[in-house]
Amino acid sequence: MASNESANNPTKDWLAPDSTQRDNFSLAPFDGLNRKLTAHSDISNVDTVSFHSQVDLVKESAVDMDTVPRTASAAFGLTPDEILDMIDPKSPEKLTAFGGVSGIIRRLHSNAENGLSEPFDARTAAFGDNTMPAAVLRSFWDFAKEALKDRTLIILLIAAFAEVAIGIYKSVFAEDKDPLGFIDGLAIIIAVVVIVLISSVNDYRKQSQFQQLNSFSSSLSRVQVTRNGANIQIKTTELLVGDICHITAGDLLPADGLVIQAFNVSTDESAMTGESVTLNKDAVNDPFLFSGTKVVNGVGRMVVIATGRNSMNGRLMAALEAAEPEPTPLQFKLGGLADVIAKFGTYIAVGMFVALAILYGIFHRNDGKSVVKIVNDIINLFIIAITLVVVAVPEGLPLAVTISLAHATLKMLKDNNLVRHLKACETMGNATTICSDKTGTLTQNKMTVVVGVIACRPFGTENLSTNSNDETALIDMFTKRTADKAIKNTVRNADATIQPDTFSGLPDAVLSHIARSMNVNSTAEEVVTDAAEQAAAVAAQTEAISKDKKSRKGDGKPATEFIGSKTEVALLEFTQKLGRGYKQDRDNSQVVEVIPFSSDRKRMSTIIHVPQEQRSGVESVLFAGQTQIAADTNWLFCKGAAELVVNLCDRYVNAEGQVVPMTDAVRAEYEAAIETMASCALRTICVAFKPLSSGPSDSGPQIIVNEETSADASEAASDDSNLILGGIVGIKDPIRPEVPAAVADCIRAGVVVRMVTGDNITTARSIAKNAGILPSTDALPEYAVMDGPTFRKLTPEMMDIVLPQLRVLARSSPLDKQVLVNNLKRLGETVAVTGDGTNDAPALKSADVGFSMGIAGTEMAKEASDIILLDDNFASLTKAIIWGRSVYDSVRKFLQFQLTVNIVAVILTVVSSFLTSIFSEGKIPMSALTAVQLLWVNLIMDTFAALALATDPPTPELLNRPPARKSDSLINYDMWKMIIGQSIFQIAACLGLYCGKVAWIDGGMDVLVEGKGIDHFTDSYTLMGTLVFNTFVFCQLFNEINCRVIGKDLNIFKNVNKNPLFMMIVGGSVVVQVVIVQFGGVVFKTTSLGGMDWLLCIGVALITLPLGAVIRLMPDFFRKQE
């Protein structure tokens, strides 16, 4: 039986010291390891009697904040600087000077077994919390200065200042004084400032959004620590110096620490040192662990010695500035397109300036103008040309991607998608195949033992045969003729029915031994999940341990929960139903050797030494009438994939609890039972064991992680033969209710879903049918389902034949998944992959988009992924497809809109300038759109339009089309039709107004030719320009609505009410345009319009909407046949 002290500390880590050893505490409950580590480290209990008085001293002296760290550190035996000197560089000598690891623990007022005790205020004051310093963010003015580095804006500002200077000179010194001569230049300067401010605000907001995402990502991380003698989970940011932190393979170390207990722990410190060689860690030879490095192998515990800013990773982070996200593929492609358009715009502007300057020289060489007047005219020409460049450069294209990504990534959080790499968001929209895990992604990851057989006694079925005393009960229950219906009923009930007489007649010692096999051969354990509930939970657990049931809080909710492998959790919960909780078994067992589960072995083995007095004579029952087992015997417990472990067994426990030889008939019935359960989508686990000849090992415990490279592991694996079969259980993990519909959505969207699982091929096939990945019919393509061993033997030629058909890969390894991903990419697929384990990292990295699991995923898997599924749900992955397509479409909408604006603005400016230059002899060339008007157009068509079109919410209709191919152009046939059609109409309308309205007003172009006086000309030209400007702007606003839809859908107002930002921007632009026209005459060179003029402008512009419908309905005469 467990000692009283052990019973009073039910949450004690089973790898921590046994209660009987606390007076002479070393590192572990294993005698050999104790002797080895005590000789080197001498880690003992730490006296904390005087700690609270020291805390009070710290609080009393904490007036001057500058002295808090030094005073707080004085309450301990170490300062952050002393710790830094010890670890950077690693200094075993300094560690020894502090008394080794045990001395560090003592100085930090911690306890290697029980961890920290409250209060924590002094500790936080002395060493800080575990909040990593954020990368230095750029200020608003940094973005403003960057925006002002744009060369075209700089040239425009220089010209504007020159015009202001000339305007001031003319208003003061010229004979024909013009008191408002500087207005044009000043208006341009103000317009540039407004553009820079709006651009800077947008960039600053974007930075804040991405910083918000990073902060959210950091808040997800949890770590397991021991505090007040209980194992609890806390946020990584709550970790403190002195905490006893549990580490396991796949972790990214959250702080710097020293190894207390390590079982074959090795780390990858390449993030710190640049060297990719893994380093073995233990409490003797190399106990130094660094934040930000990866735990590659093993499990263990460490004492935290530096957190946050004081840790090695924190110091590196503090030196970094916030890095701009790397351009995504779409941003890169649009940036190239923008450069090409900018070059054409520049060439046109330069050509226009040169041509107009020549015409100006021809027409004005003998008109007697002053030098100041000529210079002013040339500057006006130059400003028009430079403004044309500003308008022609589509800086809004990359901006549209950034805005759309920033909007999408924040919204995707609500759909449980945390985007780590922006490129993944857009890439996911064009994914052609998804390679999905089964457990937790397609299923609920709520595993429950629902059916099985223990010692030839079936449970969980309705037609139990309880009066049988031999293996015929097994045969009767699991033949395919009778078992399917019973098992399926049990599956629907989703719980194992343990009848009172199910195991009657089975010796209690045998049932306890089989339960012990599940309890000790496991890494799952029960932890307190809320530190605030810790004290109450520990008390509740102490009371519950005697009752062998899970502790509960006063409100009936669990105060604790199991963490670890869900399969192991299901087994531990099952042993609780048997009335044999795991804690007592672990407290009374000494681990000699552990061979963890691996995807290659498909099983886990643990060698345990159980003292004779704790075995309750189980050997005498199991081996009745056989050779007596020695008192110092170790036991090997094994569990794993049922069809594999059964083949390792040459004996089994019969219904009377005795070990008998395995006959071919019994083995066949066990295999039939496994097949039947697997066909009902159950995971089958076999539990087996055998006695070994030697007692506790003096070499202490080992955890062997890589069997193929370890001689010890090979020897231990050979010991897995000649096992005794104790039982088989069927574990149900229900399909998530939303998964079949989500899979159907993917298929409708042209995305192939493939399931990659470690389950056997029968279970995998059944689950794939339930999820909709495979059709329910039995007639499947030849290569639709395949197992890992067969897949590994495929030649490249066979891969090309198999992969288009393959939908389920069973009994697969992480390497199989990576090979699958690489071959799919070789065939031109855009591949998304899900993964949760450390070994999945290569496949996640290889995929175009890697999804890790936010709940079940290791830190290394999350680090290798592009998107974290916060709920581990396949349906959330489907939503990522919708958002990805929404980003892609948003950019194409804006591209369609902006190219139309660019074409119309450039052609209208150039043509109108040449018209006035040719037909207005004696007058300077004048564009239909002034520089200030063009800058306003640039503002609404770039930043505002990008905001409006890039934030349209996604719709389920996005899944009604196949994904875009990598070779597809951004601008498709339908978009070109719309761009060209709208451009032709708008150019014709604006030029028609430019010429026709003046002719209708007063003599048409005769005004320009005959010359009726400068005032008459100016008034007519201002009215003409206002009409053109107003019509042009409203054409863009209506076309912005038209561009909400790409393709042949005629309903351009669909879901417009779901995008209030779009309506605000369009509505706000209308209001500002009205103000500009009616009241901005001096600055914008406009005149107020009457009712008929407004009706004319809006009426002409409104044609863009029905024209858009006509263009969509036009036959596709020139579309390439695909």
From the list 197, 145, 162, the residue with the least C-alpha distance to 383 is 162
pLDDT value for 804: 94
Q: Is residue 329 reached through a cis peptide bond, with omega within 30 degrees of 0 on the bond before it?
A: no
pLDDT value for 368: 60
What are the phi and psi torsion angles at 388 (to 5°)?
A: -60, -40
Q: Where are the beta strands (DSSP E) in 721-793?
A: 723-732, 752-756, 785-787
pLDDT tens string 521-534: 888 888 765 544 44
Burial label for 410, CB within 10 Å (0-12, 13-18, 19+), is middle
What does the longest C-alpha to C-alpha distance in the chain come to? 131
650 included as an active-site residue: no
Q: From CA 885, how far away is CA 427, in angstroms rounded?
A: 9
Q: From CA 48, how far away is CA 55, in angstroms rounded?
A: 11
pLDDT tens string 555-576: 444 456 787 788 899 999 999 8
Distances, alpha carbon 625 to alpha carbons 126, 460, 622, 629, 632, in Å? 66, 32, 9, 11, 20
User: Is residue 936 within a helix (H) or strand (E), and if so which, with residue range?
Assistant: helix 931-939
CATH of 327-410+881-1113, one of 3.30.390.10, 3.40.50.300, 1.20.1110.10, 1.10.3720.10: 1.20.1110.10
Burial label for 219, CB within 10 Å (0-12, 13-18, 19+), is exposed
CA atoms within 13 A on the CB side of 898: 35
CATH of 4-133+222-318, one of 3.30.300.20, 3.40.50.12370, 2.40.40.20, 2.70.150.10: 2.70.150.10
Residues 6+ apart with CB under 8 A from 523: 248, 299, 564, 565, 568, 596
Residues of the chain with CATH 1.20.1110.10: 327-410+881-1113
Distances, alpha carbon 98 to alpha carbons 11, 92, 105, 286, 531, in Å? 31, 10, 10, 16, 31
The angle formed by the CA atoms of residues 956, 957 and 962, to the nearest 5 degrees, is 110
Query: Two tokens at 610?
Result: 């159980």
Q: From CA 806, how far away is CA 782, in angstroms rounded?
A: 9
Q: Where are the beta strands (DSSP E) in 903-970?
A: none
Residues of the chain with CATH 3.40.50.1000: 417-443+735-872
> According to the 3-state scheme, what is the secondary structure of 379-390?
HHHHHHHHHHHH
Q: From CA 447, how far away is CA 258, in angstroms rounded?
A: 36
Residues of the chain with CATH 2.70.150.10: 4-133+222-318
Q: From CA 1053, how far away is CA 1044, in angstroms rounded?
A: 8
pLDDT value for 935: 81
Global pTM value: 0.72
Distances, alpha carbon 867 to alpha carbons 415, 858, 872, 958, in Å? 12, 14, 11, 20
Q: Where are the beta strands (DSSP E) in 662-722?
A: 682-692
CATH of 448-518+581-732, one of 3.40.50.620, 3.40.50.2300, 3.10.200.10, 3.40.1110.10: 3.40.1110.10
Residues 6+ apart with CB under 8 A from 638: 521, 603, 604, 605, 645, 648, 687, 688, 689, 720, 723
Catalytic residue from among 13, 203, 251, 437: 437
CATH architecture observed for domain 417-443+735-872: 3-Layer(aba) Sandwich (3.40)
Burial label for 292, CB within 10 Å (0-12, 13-18, 19+), is buried
| pLDDT < 50 positions in the chain | 1-72, 462-475, 477-494, 531-558, 695-714, 716-718, 922, 998-1017, 1121-1122
Q: Are 937 and 901 in contact (CB under 8 A)?
A: yes
pLDDT value for 462: 45
Residues of the chain with CATH 3.40.1110.10: 448-518+581-732
